[in-house]
Amino acid sequence: MYETFDHTADVGIRARAADLASLFRDAAQGLFALIAEPVAAAPSARRVELEVRGERADLLLFDWLSELLYLSERDRSILCDFAVELIEGGLRGRATAVPMEQARDALLREVKAITYHGLRVERAGAEWIAEFIVDV
């Protein structure tokens, strides 16, 4: 689950989940919900896989989201259908990449970068919470 919140000229995203892998998945969904309305995987969609290394949960989240944003820009695609597996020293993630041409009508805004400002990942009782600010 994720929600957005206003932050001066930028946009914040707050994700909550029962476990860390789900938190990272939901944060990615929140990020791409800012970029485009939900897109359906088309025949030309492809799976992308990546591995991100890191020990600290907040910095791992930053690197995960930054890498997804980079892949989206590099490949001119919108990412969806995220899956995250925590591994020793990082995470392994997967997503579906839908070509930007097919998602053109769904585009909402450009996200320039994930920022360190306000970045946090913490356990609160039975759930994990992440907050991050994106530069739009």
What CATH number should be reported for the domain holding residue 124? 3.55.10.10
Q: Residue 136 has what pLDDT?
A: 84
Indicate the pTM of the whole model.
0.90
Q: pLDDT tens digits, residue range 117-126?
A: 999 999 999 9
Exposure of 3 by Cβ count < 10 A (0-12 exposed, 13-18 middle, 19+ buried)?
A: exposed
Q: Are 11 and 54 in contact (CB under 8 A)?
A: no
Q: Is the pLDDT of residue 12 over 80?
A: yes
Query: What percent of the chain has a predicted confidence (pLDDT) above 90?
Result: 74
The per-residue pLDDT for range 38-47, each reduced to its tens digit, is 777 677 789 9
Q: 17 to each of 26, 79, 87, how far by Cα in Å?
A: 8, 20, 18
If one compares 11 and 89, the residue with the highest pLDDT of the two is: 89
26-71: pLDDT as tens digits: 999 999 999 988 777 677 789 999 999 999 999 999 999 999 999 9
- What is the total count of domains within the chain? 1
The whole domain housing 129 covers 2-135
